[in-house]
Amino acid sequence: MVGALSASSCGGGDSALQAGLDGEPEPATNAAEVDDGGDYESPEPSSAVTDSGQISDVNAAVKSDPGAQNPALEGLPDCPVDALENAGSAGPVEITMWFGLADQLAGVLQELTEEFNASQSDVAVSIENQTDYETTIDNYLNLGVSNRPEVMLVPEFIVQTFVESESFVPIGACFEAAGTDTSTLLERGLTAYSYDEVQWGVPFNVSSPILYYLKPRFEAAGLDPESPPTSFEEMRTVSEALVSSGVSAYGEVVDVARDSAGARIEQWFGQLEEPYVDGGNGREARATEVLFGSEAGLNILRYLRDMRADELSFNVGTNAGGLDAFLKLIDPAEPGAMTVATSAGIVQVLDALGGGIAPDLTIEDVGVGSLPGPDGSIAAQVGGASLWIPVGGGDVEIAAAWRYIEFLTSAQTQSTWAASTGYVPMRSDAVELDPIATLFETDPRFRVSYDQLVAPTGSINAAGPALGPQREVRQVVADLIATIYQDPSVNDVALQALLDDAVAKADVLIETYNRLN
């Protein structure tokens, strides 16, 4: 039954069970019928904060007045959304979208695309799977303009690189030209794909890291199975109870993968609303240095070190395919009880248990909580990907691309997509529509990730950093954490030295990127 989980692997060998990556969840039809019996309550969504010094809402003008213009768009490519009206009747405008998702996700996307094509006669879309995000990005950057698609689906870590390629139409220009009401779009999703006051991509398949835990282990240790830990302090207390009671050999199962451990500190800095890099977290100006060498960064490393040193956590290594951490939870010899992974993996986890991978556990035994962090804040940054429009085609092709994007990001399509895949709907009005409305009501576990993404934002630091060499910096951080897990006996002086070394390596990566670009 391990195949029930491994089927989620992407073409590049990665899985939806790794935070920050996307794999192949099965449709959530059966999962919607499960009531976990919990008392989870959703926090109230917040409106955007726009006071001076706080997070900038690049769409604020459009929200208050659809006819308003963003001066930051001056000099950037236009989005001629009305060009289709003048295209004549020579047949539908044919466009292509590139994406990098696993087969099941590609199947759902194909069904939605066929629905769009059948709903009108102006545009005909074909989709081409590049197998994974990085291949999609590399193919785009390495091919000439004439070989590029009209729509791209790409992840959050490529924002600065794509903006500086000067080869995209800003989505903000499309918002303005179409008079789009952006008030229902998730603010954290929009901010993740904005740069220097301009909206460049619109989020489509959105996820965030969440806590998976086994309720029977909590009950056996005398813990409340409906109250998962939200802070580092609570994670330690819960882990101590699980281990001391003999229920689990370890409290938390961790890894040192680039896109989970390497990206997790970005998440925790966002919860603290501390800058991860300079330049307004890299979103107001080019970053020139990382800032995770601060006391906040050292405290995070102390927590990770102490959990490992006291044998409250277990490291499964690079967690290739995203399976090892979950398999450690059901290890008959030395099991763990909690792990953090992407919310996009929730359907695979439930399906695997429903398929009998762990005979002593059912799908009702899996609890889902928000991402635990330094101070217990209920908030997260987005993972997943957004839709971009390359330049290179004519006005009609850009208008056709926008028409398709409007469909994919509509409330009903987002509801259908989220319920079919396990992703988070990226707009608040989508959660009021079936099928996702029913799924959220009958199984609140699916709503946890959404509620993290509607949490209040007090500064631009709440959003993830926009950083050219973001993948490489994440690897530096993952290597740092791996070193600490290998020798958790290091004292604070040695820990600071390791942190300083990682900062220096990251700064060299940024300096090299800035010099070459």
At 41, is the secondary structure helix, strand, or coil?
A: coil
d(CA 127, CA 192) in angstroms, rounded, equals 24
H helix or E strand, kind and range, residue 202: strand 202-207
Rounded CA gap, 440 and 456, in Å?
21
Give DSSP secondary structure letters for 382-408: -EEEEEEEESSS-HHHHHHHHHHHHHH
Q: Give the tokens for residue 290.
A: 């990382």
Distance of alpha carbon 404 from alpha carbon 319, whole angstroms: 36
Compute the C-alpha angle 199/203/209, nearest 5°. Answer: 120
CA dist 177 → 49, 69, 152, 170, 399 (Å): 24, 9, 20, 11, 11
Tokens of 135: 């291949």
Partners of 194 in the β-ladder: 199
CA-based nearest residue to 209, from 252, 147, 170, 249 = 252
Beta strand 123-129 pairing with 93-99:
parallel
DSSP 258: T
For 253-306, write each residue's pLDDT tens digit: 999 999 999 999 999 999 999 999 999 999 999 999 999 999 999 999 999 999
**Residues 326, 5: contact at Cβ < 8 Å?**
yes
Strands (E), 53-187: 93-99, 123-129, 151-155, 168-169
What was the pLDDT predicted at 59? 52
Helix (H) or strand (E) holding 350: helix 346-354
- The answer to whether the Cα torsion of 332, 334, 337, 340 is positive or negative is negative
CA distance 134 to 140: 10
Mention the CATH class of domain 60-207+382-453: alpha beta
- Taking Cα atoms as reference points, which of 191, 203, 154 lies closest to residue 459? 191
**Contact assessment for residue 507 and residue 290, using Cβ atoms and an 8 Å cutoff:** yes
Q: Which 3 state secondary structure label does DSSP give 154?
A: strand
Which amino acid type is present at position 322? G
125 pairs with which residues across the strands?
95
Please give the angle made by the CA atoms of 68, 70 and 72, to the nearest 5 degrees: 170
pLDDT at residue number 89: 67
User: For each successive 10 residues of the chain (517 residues), what is the average pLDDT?
Assistant: 35 37 36 35 35 40 57 94 82 95 92 98 96 93 87 95 95 97 94 94 96 98 98 98 98 96 96 96 95 98 98 95 92 97 92 93 97 96 95 93 98 96 95 98 97 89 93 98 97 98 98 95
Whether 270 and 379 have beta carbons less than 8 Å apart is answered as yes
> Using CA atoms, how far apart are residues 225 and 244, in angstroms rounded to an integer?
17
Torsion of CA 351, 353, 357, 360, to 10 degrees: -170
Give CA–CA dist 331/325, Å, rounded. 10
In the chain, the N- to C-terminal Cα span, in Å, equals: 48
Return all residues near 348 (Cβ < 8 A) that are at least 6 apart. 4, 5, 7, 8, 16, 17, 23, 24, 25, 26, 422
Two structure tokens written together for 372: 């635990």
Report the relative pairing of strands 383-390 and 168-169 from DSSP bridges: antiparallel
Which amino acid, residue 374?
P
Q: What is the DSSP string of 28-60?
A: STTGGG--------PPPP-PPP-STTS---TTH
3-state secondary structure at position 297: helix
Adjacent-strand bridge partners of 202: 387
Rounded Cα distance between 20 and 32, Å, is: 24
**Which residue stretches of 409-491 are H helix?**
411-421, 436-442, 448-453, 470-486
Alpha-carbon gap, residue 338 to 344, rounded angstroms: 17
Spatial separation of the C-alpha atoms in residues 392 and 8, rounded to whole Å? 35
pLDDT at 4: 37
What is the residue extent of each domain of the chain? 60-207+382-453
